[in-house]
Amino acid sequence: MAPRFPFSELPRLGSRACARCSTRDTVWSLASLHRARGIAQSYLRKVSEGEDRWKQRADKIQSGEISHVWDVLEERGFVKDVAGNVDKIKEIMRIKRVGAYVGIDPTADSMHVGHLLPFMALFWLWFHGHPAITLLGGSTARIGDPTGRLLSRDDMTNSEITKNITKIHFQLSRLWTNVDQLRRKYGYEDDWAAKRALLNNNTWLGKLTVYDFSKRLARNMRLGPMLSRETVKRKMDDGDGMSLGEFMYPLLQGWDFWHLYNKLGCQMQIGGSDQFGNIVAGIDVLKVVRESEEAPHDRMPTGWQHEPFGFTVPLLTDSSGAKFGKSAGNAVWLDEYKTSPFELYGFFMRRSDDELEKLLKLFTFMPIKQIQDIMAQHRVDPSKRIGNHHLAFEVLSMVYGSQRALQEAQQHQFRFGGELPHILKEPTPKAVSSHPTTPLAATSHSLDPS
The predicted-structure confidence for 370-422, as pLDDT tens digits, reads as follows: 999 999 999 999 999 999 999 999 999 999 999 999 999 999 888 887 778 76
60-64, 421-425, 443-447 — which is least confidently predicted?
Answer: 443-447
Distance CA 215, CA 217 (A): 6
CA-to-CA dists, residue 415 to 109, 345, 412, 421, angstroms:
30, 13, 5, 16
| Arithmetic mean of pLDDT, 244-253 | 88
Q: For residue 163, which amino acid is it?
A: K
pLDDT at 23 over 80: no
pLDDT at 328 over 60: no
Contacts of 146 (CB under 8 A, 6+ apart): 152, 231, 235, 242, 246, 249
9: DSSP letter: G
Planar angle of CA 439, 395, 80, nearest 5 degrees? 95
Query: Between 341 and 443, whose confidence is greater?
Result: 341
Query: Between 22 and 55, whose confidence is greater?
Result: 55
Nearest-CA neighbor of 220 among 302, 291, 288? 288
Per CATH, domain 48-312 is 3.90.580.10: no
Write phi, then psi, for 254 (nearest 5 degrees).
Answer: -65, -35
Query: Between 260 and 420, whose confidence is greater?
Result: 260
- b/e per residue 305-335 (b: at least 16 CB within 10 A): eebbbbbbbbebebeeeeebbbbeeebbbbb
pLDDT at 25 over 80: no
Nearest-CA neighbor of 204 among 242, 254, 159, 154? 254
DSSP one-letter string for 76-131 = HT----EES-HHHHHHHHHHS--EEEEEE--SSSS-BGGGHHHHHHHHHHHHTT--
Write phi, then psi, for 99 (nearest 5 degrees).
Answer: -70, 140
Q: What percent of the chain lies above the pLDDT cut of 70?
A: 84
pLDDT at 440 over 70: no
Task: Give the pLDDT confidence score for residue 14 in this predicted structure.
Answer: 46
CB-CB neighbours of 82 under 10 Å: 15
| Angle, helix 353-363 to helix 368-380, in steps of 10 degrees | 160
pLDDT at 210 over 50: yes
Distance CA 292, CA 276 (A): 25
223-232, 250-259, 384-393 — which is least confidently predicted?
Answer: 223-232
Tell me, which fold does domain 326-424 have in CATH?
A: Tyrosyl-Transfer RNA Synthetase (1.10.240)
Distance CA 382, CA 170 (A): 37
| Arithmetic mean of pLDDT, 38-60 | 84
Distance CA 251, CA 245 (A): 10
The sign one gets for the Cα dihedral 287, 290, 294, 299 is negative
Task: Give the pLDDT confidence score for residue 276 in this predicted structure.
Answer: 94
Nearest-CA neighbor of 288 among 65, 276, 280? 280
Planar angle of CA 123, 127, 133, nearest 5 degrees? 45
Nearest-CA neighbor of 401 among 210, 178, 161, 95? 178
Q: How does pLDDT run across 338-361, given as a tens digit for each residue?
A: 999 999 999 999 999 999 999 999
Nearest-CA neighbor of 100 among 257, 313, 256, 267? 267
Nearest-CA neighbor of 268 among 132, 391, 364? 132
Q: How many residues does the chain have?
A: 450
Helices (H), ranges, 302-423: 341-349, 353-363, 368-380, 386-400, 402-416
Q: Where in the sequence of the chain do the CATH 1.10.240.10 domains occur?
A: 326-424
Local confidence band at 20 (pLDDT 50, 70, 90 cut-offs): low
Task: Give the pLDDT confidence score for residue 40 in this predicted structure.
Answer: 76
Q: How far is CA 120 from the centre of its chain?
A: 9
Rg of the chain in Å (alpha carbons): 26
Q: Where in the sequence of the chain do the CATH 3.40.50.620 domains occur?
A: 48-312
Q: Provide the mean pLDDT of the chain.
A: 85
Task: Give the pLDDT confidence score for residue 432 in this predicted structure.
Answer: 39
